[in-house]
């Protein structure tokens, strides 16, 4: 039994080492290597323009790989909106983000979960169990709070949250923010493409700006709701006592 336990710990440690090496290499590739020169909106746009009808599929693949390699999501999202417009851009960005989030989660789960579980004490185990029970709500809340996208993908893989709770919470949680950002960038791109400056005063531009600005208040609004909920729960407990 002791030998089996040691083998499990050794395997978990090796997997975690691979995960850390993978993350380190991904960050180096995107931030410090010569490859970063090609990971710009201008370069990627030139490449996607050259592939013609394959552009949507290639873009989704780029987005998926980018999510796993810590490429900034805002860059990829802005690229999708700028090339494909506010509506198709939203569809392709959301699809790429979802597949990338799922893949990064599975990488974190396969390579890091066993090691993370071996470090969990009684206090952290209660937290881990709570995430498993409330996986969908936890993921949805963190997504709406604009928790950093890629770190959360890998990090959630280390917890006990169920895969489908994670995917459904992510799908719903990034829906609003993704649409607002792609609608904003795509609308400005459409106006820029037409060259009609007067269209900057159109209802569509005003709506996109209002939605974009209001999106920054979503986390604050959620905190207010959460705070109100805590106050009402405390008041109910006092009344019972």
Contact 181, 215 (CB under 8 A): yes
Higher pLDDT, 18 or 236: 18
Contact 6, 118 (CB under 8 A): no
pLDDT at 204: 61
Contact 49, 82 (CB under 8 A): no
Residue 122 Cα to chain centre, angstroms: 29
Contact 76, 96 (CB under 8 A): yes
Percent residues over pLDDT 70 in the chain: 75
Mean of all residue pLDDT scores within the chain:
80
pLDDT tens-digit map of 88-106: 999 999 999 999 999 999 9
pLDDT tens-digit map of 70-87: 888 888 898 898 889 888
Question: What's the alpha-carbon Rg for the chain, to the nearest Å?
Answer: 21
pLDDT at 232: 47
- Which tokens is 141 given? 């809340």
pLDDT at 104: 94
**φ, ψ of residue 124 in degrees (nearest 5):** -70, -30
| CA–CA gap between residue 118 and residue 115 (Å, rounded) | 5
Higher pLDDT, 203 or 141: 141
Q: What is the CB neighbour count within 10 angstroms for residue 231?
A: 10
- Which tokens is 145 given? 């709070």
| CA–CA gap between residue 126 and residue 122 (Å, rounded) | 6
pLDDT at 143: 87
Q: Assess whether pLDDT exceeds 60 at residue 170.
A: yes
- Which tokens is 48 given? 């996607």
Question: Average pLDDT for residues 60-64, to the nearest whole number?
Answer: 95
pLDDT tens-digit map of 108-138: 999 888 877 777 666 667 777 888 888 888 8
Higher pLDDT, 135 or 1: 135
pLDDT at 233: 45
| CA–CA gap between residue 219 and residue 146 (Å, rounded) | 7
Stretch among 12-21, 163-172, 231-240 having the lowest mean pLDDT: 231-240
Higher pLDDT, 13 or 230: 13
Q: Assess whether pLDDT exceeds 50 at residue 234.
A: no
Q: What is the CB neighbour count within 10 angstroms for residue 35?
A: 12
pLDDT at 89: 92
The DSSP string of 43-77 is HHHHHHHHTGGGHHHHHHHHHHHHHHTT--HHHHH
pLDDT band of 159, cuts 50, 70, 90: confident
């Amino acid at each position: 039994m002791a030998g089996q336990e040691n083998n499990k710990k050794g395997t978990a440690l090796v997997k975690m080492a691979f995960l850390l090496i993978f993350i380190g290499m991904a960050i180096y590739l995107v931030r410090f290597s010569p490859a970063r020169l090609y990971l710009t909106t201008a370069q990627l746009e030139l490449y996607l323009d050259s592939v013609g009808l394959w552009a949507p599929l290639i873009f989704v693949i780029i987005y998926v790989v980018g999510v796993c390699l810590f490429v900034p999501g805002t860059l990829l999202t802005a690229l999708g909106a700028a090339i494909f417009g506010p509506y198709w851009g939203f569809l392709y960005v959301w699809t790429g983000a979802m597949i990338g989030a799922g893949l990064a989660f599975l990488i974190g789960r396969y390579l890091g979960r066993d090691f993370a579980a071996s470090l969990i004490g009684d206090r952290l185990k209660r937290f881990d169990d709570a995430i498993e029970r409330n996986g969908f709500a936890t993921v949805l809340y963190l997504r709406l709070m604009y928790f950093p996208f890629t770190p959360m993908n890998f990090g959630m893989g280390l917890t006990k949250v169920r895969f489908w709770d994670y995917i459904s919470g992510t799908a719903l949680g990034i829906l609003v923010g993704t649409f607002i950002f792609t609608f904003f960038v795509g609308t400005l791109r459409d106006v820029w493409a037409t060259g009609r400056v007067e269209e900057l005063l159109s209802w569509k531009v005003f709506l996109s700006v209002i939605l974009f600005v209001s999106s920054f208040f979503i986390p604050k609004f959620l905190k207010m709701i959460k705070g109100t909920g805590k106050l009402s729960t405390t008041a109910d407990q006092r009344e019972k006592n």
